[in-house]
Amino acid sequence: MLSLIASVLDFAVPVLVVIFIGLFGTGALIELGLMQKLSRFASPIFRYTNLPDTCASSFIVAMGSTVAANSMVVNFRDGGCINEREAILCAVLNSTPAYVREILTYQIPIVLPALGAVVGGFYVTVFILTAFVKISAVVILSKLLLKKNHCVFGDNITEKKVRLQEAIRRSLSRNKKLFTKISIIYLSMTTLVFYLRSRGAFEALNVLPIAEVFGIPAESIVPLTTYVASPILGISLLGPMISSNSISYQQAMIVLMLGSMFMLPFFGFRTLLPRYISIFGPRIGLRIVAFSTGISILVRFCVLVILLFIAV
């Protein structure tokens, strides 16, 4: 039990520190009126949506921290500037800058060398395609479901300049209850996920029948199963198989798409769900994770169908 608590705190405390900095730091910037100025840099993207320009400032922050950006979205919603639908679409859009960070820190330095130019390049392309589809889905849904909202959140807070000390005080006063609620929910959800993982809930998956259906070699079962638990380890195991020609490029691509489709729900439940529920609450948090993860799985499924069609 003590080891479980230690693992939870080791994982959750750094995240809560980021949430604290994001929530109170961006709150202070809003009080100072600086976020309205930053939002101008993202206005070209939001020009094609019916999302309010105030979401553009959170999108800018998402380039550095998705958690901090979503903390801002909660403030926008609680301040009456955006509704629940707008909050969901803003949060999904805030997840896309992370793709740029991951390309630079994961895809290029790890995936490409491990899988080679052909398969690695394919994997990176699918990754970029997923981000493009998410942005397109947000644009289309905002046009279909929303009316243009011209609310600027900063206008609801202050009409005159304030000093930094006063801005920090206001931010602490405004956000302390929200941070307490986020901390309690996040620690509870993380504890549940870690407990389930210790019981093997995320590793109990037999993909052999599925692999046989899709016509991939028996030796690819190990990297496929491993990928579900750890994408980096799965890719590391798949790389040598590609180099030794024990699996073709197309079969490797099928393994990657299958592994992604199984891994994404586990990743969503294990990592994303506690974070989004702690910030947005159970109802909205679950919708955001389901929407975002669903798009990612759909892209992989469509690519998998194309690969299987070509193989016929």
- Is residue 154 in some structural domain? no
How does the average pLDDT of the chain come out, rounded? Answer: 78
Q: What value does the mean pLDDT take over residues 271-291?
A: 90
- Is residue 273 in some structural domain? yes
In this predicted structure, the answer to whether residue 195 has a pLDDT above a threshold of 90 is no
**Residue 125 pLDDT:** 93
Q: What is the pTM of this model?
A: 0.76
**Residue 290 pLDDT:** 94
- Is residue 279 in some structural domain? yes
Q: Which comes out higher in pLDDT, residue 208 or 273?
A: 273
Q: Which comes out higher in pLDDT, residue 243 or 288?
A: 288
In this predicted structure, the answer to whether residue 18 has a pLDDT above a threshold of 80 is no
- Is residue 224 in some structural domain? yes
Q: Which of 51-60, 121-130, 155-164, 250-259 has the lowest mean pLDDT?
A: 155-164
Amino acid residing at 32: L
- Is residue 243 in some structural domain? yes
In this predicted structure, the answer to whether residue 132 has a pLDDT above a threshold of 90 is yes
Question: Residue 155 contacts by C-beta under 8 Å, 6 or more apart in sequence?
Answer: none
- Is residue 3 in some structural domain? no
How many structural domains comprise the chain?
Answer: 1
**Residue 234 pLDDT:** 77
Three-state DSSP at 183 gives helix
Three-state DSSP at 191 gives helix
In this predicted structure, the answer to whether residue 214 has a pLDDT above a threshold of 70 is no
- Is residue 172 in some structural domain? no
> Residue 273's domain spans which residues?
200-312
Instruction: Measure the CA dihedral 227/231/233/239, to 10°.
Output: 80
Asked if 22 contacts 67 with a C-beta cutoff of 8 angstroms, the reply is: yes
